[in-house]
Structure 1
Amino acid sequence: MIDLEDLAFLLERLCPMFVLLDRSGRMTRVGPTLQKLRPEQPMQGEKFLETFELLRPRSVATVPALMASSGAKLHLSLRDEPRTALKGLIVPLPGEHGAIVNLSFGISILDAVRDYALTSADFSGTDLAIELLYLVEAKSAAMEASRKLNLRLQGAMIAAEEQAFTDTLTGLKNRRAMDHILSRLLAGTTPFALMHLDLDYFKSVNDTLGHAAGDHVLQHVARVMVEETRGDDTVARIGGDEFVLIFNHLQERERLDSIARRLIDRLEEPIPFNGEECRISASVGTVLSSQFARPDASTLLHAADLALYAAKRAGRATHRFYEAGQSSTSVEPLERAATPSPQEEAAAGQGAARNLAS
């Protein structure tokens, strides 16, 4: 006579996913790992074929057929979600006292470990699944380390690229970044406007108040330009006191002229520095990408330079658009008289007086 209590005690240690069936197919004992799959639904006392769906052999649909399947490999799954796939083997007990069904996860072990938070303690010490789990854990650890390393490398690469495309003094894009953005726009079909802005009387600030004042002015100018442009526009410092602004999807002359005039007006406001006032202005030239059938970067930049030269010839502190046929020797004032503004005169006078005094 088999002592079922002793048998269950042994099976719990050797086969933690066993099921002990009585002759009617009811589960009288269930291994601790198997019960973990349904912690809120005790399996003991339930019908085996009502808890598990037998997928193969398809001919087994009753308890007698199940009991007669000794040695056959069973493919089954839990009937409710998650429908974890299982493999099993049934061995009848002597004297028709029922049967033992030993279950395993097979290739679904990784899903089971994830779904039920299983550990090596939930498996038999001789189960090869333990070694597989160790391999998976080692692989996961290696992949996580690789992922973190890749993130650090990507961060370093992005930081290096950002530094390579950034003017360190103002935080604006630099000439390299502008060339890259301009090439990308020209390769597409997006219309845009390119504005070349050059500071007036900036040399006087450097000469009279020093380069620290000049740096302060450039940083102030950068803030003003960023505030007067949109998030997808480009503001780049391409020289000492030269800037290029690129406006995506913007070709309206009135709107561009309004932006340029706002920039000029704001840059003419005195800039405090160490108890002194730095006074500058700006001249601006603008070209539209649509003004050329097949524009290239050098053509657009040259056209913006010509428009800027026209603004300088018009007395500075003004804005000009490029016009077809314009050249450096055939520039005529287009929008504002050549007479300098009072602020320009004051700035120029202050600069001249300081230069004479020195």
Structure 2
Amino acid sequence: MMADMDRRDVIDRVAIPRKDDDLLLGRHGLDLLMPMHAMIDPEGRIVHIGPSLSRLAGNRPLVNRKLTDCFSFNRPQTVRGPADLHGIGGHRLDLAFRDGRAVRLRGVAAPLAGAGGLVLNLSLGLRELADLGGAGLTCTDFSATDMTVDMLYLIEGKNAAMTESQRLIMRLNGARQMAEKQAFTDTLTGLGNRRALDRALADLVAAGIPFALCNVDLDYFKQVNDRHGHAAGDEVLKAVAHVLTDVTRDRDLVARTGGDEFVILFRNLVDPAIIDRIARRLIVGVEQPITVGDATCRISASMGTALSTAYDVADPVQMMADADLALYASKRAGRSRHAVFDACLHVPPSE
């Protein structure tokens, strides 16, 4: 009975009278000035907590429990039980909930006159500001003088700035990737261009990966331009690009290197028989009639291939020249066919 009277006396003497107008600072005034406070009786028992501390505690029971049963003290480290609380008045505190998530709090303890006891004025530790201790607190849960509110605004501003910076970086990366893609892409057909071909050749040679380089030149394409105009010729080139990508694999590179000239790089494929079968399918596909408006366009293709394994050291410049020799051998043999470079093909191409 005497202990209960002492706890009530602590509440009455400090700031929480039975009638709010009995003292200048009543319950609501204390809750307003220190919404995250806790009042401790002389026995070390929590007799009252502010509304914000109550929200932060959530399902953790605090009132009528020993302070040291509810919180562990990191500062001062000498606090282990109720008897150790008598000397913490005026000291800075660093403590954390024992139950559930160990939310860190900082604050100061003030001794109470008369019946004794303490008032703890607490606030969230810095590490808890990111999610406000997981309790969904808002700015209204902190006193107007609590620096936590200012920190929250700073964190919010920082997060907003970081979010905008990330968006800007993503836009810049997207623009850079788009620019790089455009720099390596033929704008008419969407195939690779000469720059893409040179890079792919350099990568294959540097990695020591065997490959075949196949030059493709369209037959009778000039007649399409002369008879139906360059717009029709562009549509034919797009149709040819579609055939080339359909016949080749995803790992292969198809590039347009001139008006009606294309190059295919077959990665890890140097079997002449397999390449010849692919070339025949490609020629058959290219020879299908292409309808452009009211016109029907017919073309074919001649092809010449050089194999990287035919050289002691693969030289892209030499391979391009040798593939050209094989290509023109196909044209001299009647067009619409494919040839693989052989050392006997030493005669330079003629127009």
2:43 aligned counterpart, secondary structure: coil
Q: Quote the residue 2:196 is aligned against.
A: 177
Q: Quote the residue 1:105 is aligned against.
A: 124
Taking the aligned partners of 1:183 and 1:25, their CA distance within structure 2 comes to: 77
1:293 aligned counterpart, secondary structure: coil
Are 1:252 and 2:267 counterparts?
A: no
Taking the aligned partners of 2:102 and 2:209, their CA distance within structure 1 comes to: 53
Structure 2 residue corresponding to 1:211, chosen from 230, 238, 248: 230
Letter matched to residue 74 of structure 1 = L
Are 1:72 and 2:91 counterparts?
A: yes
Taking the aligned partners of 1:27 and 1:8, their CA distance within structure 2 comes to: 16
Taking the aligned partners of 2:274 and 2:216, their CA distance within structure 1 comes to: 16
Residues 297/61 of structure 1: CA separation in 2 closer, same or farther (3 Å cut): same
Aligned 8 A contact 1:194 1:245 in 2: yes
Residues 298/65 of structure 1: CA separation in 2 closer, same or farther (3 Å cut): same
The unaligned stretches of length 5 or more in structure 1 are: 332-358
Structure 2 residue corresponding to 1:150, chosen from 156, 163, 169: 169
Taking the aligned partners of 2:205 and 2:239, their CA distance within structure 1 comes to: 30
Are 1:301 and 2:312 counterparts?
A: no
Taking the aligned partners of 1:85 and 1:114, their CA distance within structure 2 comes to: 8
Q: Report the Cα offset of residue 237 of structure 1.
A: 0.6
2:130 aligned counterpart, secondary structure: helix
Please show how residues 40-59 of structure 1 align to structure 2 within 5 Å.
40-59=59-78
Taking the aligned partners of 2:343 and 2:140, their CA distance within structure 1 comes to: 83
The unaligned stretches of length 5 or more in structure 2 are: 1-11, 18-25
Q: Quote the residue 1:356 is aligned against.
A: none
Are 1:11 and 2:30 counterparts?
A: yes
1:111 aligned counterpart, secondary structure: coil
> May I ask how many residue pairs the two structures share in their alignment?
331
TM-score by length of 2: 0.86
Please show how residues 302-317 of structure 1 align to structure 2 within 5 Å.
302-317=321-336
Q: Quote the residue 2:149 is aligned against.
A: 130
Identity %: 45
1:245 aligned counterpart, secondary structure: strand
Q: Report the Cα offset of residue 81 of structure 1.
A: 4.1
Q: Report the Cα offset of residue 325 of structure 1.
A: 5.3
Taking the aligned partners of 1:185 and 1:263, their CA distance within structure 2 comes to: 24
Residues 289/35 of structure 1: CA separation in 2 closer, same or farther (3 Å cut): farther
Please show how residues 260-339 of structure 1 align to structure 2 within 5 Å.
260-324=279-343, 326-329=345-348
Letter matched to residue 194 of structure 2 = R
Taking the aligned partners of 1:291 and 1:116, their CA distance within structure 2 comes to: 72
Structure 2 residue corresponding to 1:37, chosen from 33, 37, 56: 56
Aligned 8 A contact 2:56 2:133 in 1: no
Residues 188/39 of structure 1: CA separation in 2 closer, same or farther (3 Å cut): same
Q: Quote the residue 1:23 is aligned against.
A: 42
Taking the aligned partners of 1:38 and 1:234, their CA distance within structure 2 comes to: 63
Measured against aligned partners, the alpha-carbon deviations of 1:114-141 in whole angstroms (never above 9, x if no partner) come to: 7444333222211223222222222222
Residues 114/211 of structure 1: CA separation in 2 closer, same or farther (3 Å cut): farther
Taking the aligned partners of 2:27 and 2:309, their CA distance within structure 1 comes to: 86
Q: Aligned-residue CA RMSD in angstroms?
A: 2.3
Are 1:2 and 2:21 counterparts?
A: no
Q: Report the Cα offset of residue 262 of structure 1.
A: 0.7
2:324 aligned counterpart, secondary structure: helix
Letter matched to residue 270 of structure 1 = P
Aligned 8 A contact 2:89 2:118 in 1: no
Residues 37/275 of structure 1: CA separation in 2 closer, same or farther (3 Å cut): same
Taking the aligned partners of 1:31 and 1:150, their CA distance within structure 2 comes to: 44
Measured against aligned partners, the alpha-carbon deviations of 1:305-335 in whole angstroms (never above 9, x if no partner) come to: 122122212211111112245323599xxxx
Taking the aligned partners of 2:265 and 2:144, their CA distance within structure 1 comes to: 69
Taking the aligned partners of 2:249 and 2:100, their CA distance within structure 1 comes to: 52
Q: Report the Cα offset of residue 96 of structure 1.
A: 3.2
Please identify, of 35-44 and 62-71, the stretch whose mean Cα deviation from structure 2 is larger: 35-44
Aligned 8 A contact 1:35 1:42 in 2: no
Aligned 8 A contact 1:84 1:112 in 2: no
Residues 112/146 of structure 1: CA separation in 2 closer, same or farther (3 Å cut): closer
Taking the aligned partners of 1:189 and 1:96, their CA distance within structure 2 comes to: 88
